[in-house]
Structures are given as C-alpha cells and as structure tokens.
Structure 1
Amino acid sequence: MLLEGKKLLITGVLMDSSIAFHVAKLAQEQGAEIVLTSFGRTMRITQAIAKRLPATPEVVELDVTDTEHLETLATRVAEHVDHLDGVLHSIGFAPQGAFEFLTAGWDDVATALHTSAYSLKALATASLPLMGDGGSLVGLTFDAKFAWPVYDWMGVAKAAFESTNRYLARDLGPKKVRCNLVAAGPIRTTAAKSIPGFEAFEQVWDERAPLGWDVNDPVPAAKACVALLSDWFPATTGEIVHVDGGVHAMGQ
C-alpha cells in the first residue's frame, strides 16, 4: 500500500464532499494512520464526519490563527501518534468583503492573507518537531497565475500561498521535508459555496478542460495529494501539481 505505516495530520475535513475528507479516506485505505484537526463550533461537525471514514480518527483542536494552538500542536498531536510523516493543509477563509477587490478594507484582506497564506508556514513550523526524519507537506490551491472572476483578494492570498510554498521548500529542504501544492479545478465544497459567484467557474470549466471536469468529484485531487504524501516523489519540492482537467495549459 502506498502509505503503509505513515502517520499524517489532515486539516480541513468539514464535509464528506471535501477534498480533505477524500484525502483522509484514501490515506487510510492506503495504510496510513491519521489525525484530523478542527476548532470551535466546527469541532462537532468534523467529529461527526470523521465517523464516515474507514476508521474513526482522533480530532485535535487547531485554529491556525491562534498562536497558543500552534505552539502546543506538536505536543497535543503526540498524544495520538509518535511522529508525523506528512501534513495536509486544506485551509482557506476570506470575509465577504474580500471578494470586492477595489472596495475591500485592510482588515478583510489581512484576515484572508493570515488564514489562507501565512497559515501554511505556521502549520509547517508547528508540525516540524514531529517530522524529525523528514516528511511531506501538501497544500491545496486554486491556480493563482490569473485574475479570476469573483476570486479577488482570495486570489491574491492564493498567490501568496504559492510563494510561501516555494520559500518553505527552500528552508525545509535541508530538514528533508518536501513542500508541494495541488492546484485543483473547481469542486463544490464548503469553501466554494462561500464564494459569491463561484458557479461561474463551474459553467465553463468542463468546456475548457481537454480531459473534461466534474465539479462533484474531489477524488482526482485527493489522489494527487496522497501521491505527494507518499514516498513516490522523493526529489520533488516547491512544485504545483495541476489537477484541473488540463485547463491551466489551454489558451482562452
């Protein structure tokens, strides 16, 4: 099995339609032991959804904008697993005001950047004490090379997220930690539903994708994450793997 004996920390499991849920499911099916994170009012949701996995994992509290949560993360995760071989970052949030590019205030923009970009570095360094023999950090992005309709400051946050991944690859490489992203096409997830007008992506993506695209199928993106969390990409870091049906390679 691809992840036999691996121990993984997986964030972002909120619904069984999410990419993170399917990463957790596939990881368990491929032999991994997993720990999930959640926080606040969503803890109960994550705990309930976790019961739909092949084996019900532990859920530890983590708000990636909470310094205390980050400082104690390794200790609390260590109560359930003795080390980590990989971490999935599936976290993003922007206030509604951040989806109006010209009128957005700094407070909304700062929240988007903190939660959706800086959190990759924060999660990586918080997990590092448990990754003594190296490991794999994998994050989920939405290709930030373009100015997409309606995405606005979340698009800017994703650009920062992708840059953060490259700097992490540079600084964590000597520690044998690989840092890579999966750029998925639009999936009907909780995060997508919170973006006004996101259905505009759904309407055109299948038409533009040479392989076609199913907005209701998170499994292809999840499979890419699981592959990157495995030992099958030992010399790949700082990379963005596109799982979007090929849209990123097409012209208008």
Structure 2
Amino acid sequence: MITMSGILAGKRVLVTGVLTESSIAFHAARTAQEEGADVVLTGYGRLALVERIAARLPKPAPVVELDVTDPDHLAALPDAVRGHFQGGDRQAGDAVLDGVVHSIAFGPQEVFSFLDAGWDAVSRAVEVSAYSYKSLATALLPLMPRGGSLVGVTFDAQVAWPRYDWMGVAKAALESVNRYLARDLGPRGVRCNLVAAGPLKSMAAKSIPGFDDLATLWPDRAPLGWNATDPSPAGRAVAALLSDWFPATTGEIVHVDGGVHSTGA
C-alpha cells in the first residue's frame, strides 16, 4: 500500500540492482514506494526481466538501461532520469532526485580463489562493486543541487570470510569509497551510507562458493536470529537511510545482520 504521508513522501529515488523479488534492491524499492516515494529503476543486460520485476512493485516503475562501467551510459543517465521525473510541483532549479540506491556487485568466478585470481578478474570485481558507487554518485550529483542521500549495499568486510576472497576485498573497497564520498559530498548536503546485510539467498548468492554453509551457520551466531530468505529488513533499512530521519548521519555502515557483526563471526 502506497502512502502519501510516509517517511519518503514526495521524494524521488533511483534504485539500481533490481533483478528478482529476492533482491535487497527490490525490497528497498517496494518500501520506498510504500513510504510515498516515486521510484525509477535501472537495469543492464536483462532489461526485459527487470521490467517484469518492476511491474510487481506496488506501483510499476520505469526502467532505465545502465551499465555503471560505461561512460556513455553514465553521461546519458541524468537526462533519462529527468525524463521520468518531469512534472509534479517542483519548480525550476529544484532537485530532480532525492536519493540513490547502489546495489551493484559482480565478480568473475576466478575471484573466489584468493591466491589464484588474476588482476583482470580482480580489477573487474573492484570496478563494478566499488568504483561504480563513485561513478553513480558523480553522474547523478547534478540532479541533487540541494543535497540528498546515497545508500549502498554491502556485506561486512571487517573479517576474511571463508571463500568470499576478492569479493570481500571489493566490499572493503566499497566501504572505503563510502567514507570518501561522505567526506567530499557532505559540504553539498549529500549523505552517504551503507547497509550491511547478513547472508541472503539471492540470485547473486548462488554464484558464491560455500554460501550455503555461511547462511546455515548464521542463525546460530545472530543474537536476533536470521532468516536468509527475507530481504525485507535490509530493504527497510535502505529506505530509512533515504529519508530525512538521519539528517546528520553519513559515512556509516548500518548492519542488518541479526547482530553477528557485534558478537563475532
């Protein structure tokens, strides 16, 4: 149910990374709509699939094609977003966009073997999973002249997880990028934060060797318990960080992992 009085009422949000209904990005987009936001999605490579999933949101959302590693796509993104958010009660010079969700990660299978992975595979993982956060932010910054909120999705990189290997390094890079973005964009009124979810059985998780072992052990280690098939708590955390309820919070990682990060892995 969409409300006009929710914590995101009147806001405009772009969400990347929606591929299936089990993705954090889908639940973030759904919660954002339920809390009153207008949402545009991005997709790459499987646009027809993303469009089908977008139709399952409370309000069907338009989809913009975006490869975050393609300079031409990034250059065209502001105009594409403007096209979907034209109209309404905003005046000339007002922000076109209030929030951006970065939920993008990728690594070739080679990166899951730490000692054997070559630089080509590792650099691809870092570019897509970490550097793209900066690329997305700078591409959309002109649409946020009065500030806003960037929220990325990570998997806690404080420890060396079994079998996660160079993807763990890429997530550590993402967390560092978040801090530097917070430093540089704070004077422009843009908050930059991450949500670190516990292991969720998404499409991306299927490509991670040993993921099921990690997901199986997690509930025993989480003080609050853990449901690996429920991305909604992470999606709700993303929506909360997009809202005005965290006006002085930036450069942070909000853990939505049942408490495992605080009690030890």
Fold-level similarity (TM above 0.5): yes
Q: Residue 241 of structure 2 aligns with which residue?
A: 228
Q: Give me the whole-angstrom Cα distance separating, in 1, the residues matched to 2:212 and 2:264.
A: 21
User: Structure 1 counterpart of 2:44, which letter?
Assistant: F
Counterparts of 1:1-252 in structure 2 under 5 Å?
A: 1-40=6-45, 42-82=46-86, 83-251=96-264
Aligned residues: 251
SS in 2 for 1:179: strand
User: 1:130, 1:122 → 2: CA distance?
Assistant: 14
What's the offset of the Cα at 1:77?
A: 0.8
Quote the Cα distance in structure 1 between the aligned partners of 2:264 and 2:8. 37
> What's the C-alpha RMSD, in Å, of the aligned pairs?
0.7
**Structure 1 counterpart of 2:74, one-letter code:** L
TM-score by length of structure 2 reads 0.94
Q: How many angstroms does 1:5 deviate by?
A: 0.2
Shift of 1:200: 1.6
In 2: Cα distance, 1:122 partner to 1:68 partner: 12
CA distance in 1, matches of 2:115, 2:197: 27
Kindly provide the amino acid, as one letter, of the partner of residue 188 in structure 2: K
- Tell me the amino acid that sits aligned with residue 207 of structure 1: D
C-alpha deviation, 1:250, in angstroms: 0.8
**One-letter identity of the residue aligned with 2:246:** F
Q: How far does the alpha carbon of each residue in 1:116-160 deviate from its partner, in whole angstroms, 9 at most, with x for none?
A: 000000000011111111000000000001000010000000000
Q: Which runs of 5+ in 2 are unaligned?
A: 1-5, 87-95
Q: Deviations over 1:176-212 (max 9, x none)?
A: 0000000000011111111111112111100000000
Question: How many Å separate the matches in 2 of 1:91 and 1:39?
Answer: 11
State the identity %: 65
Provide the TM-score with structure 1 as the length reference: 0.98
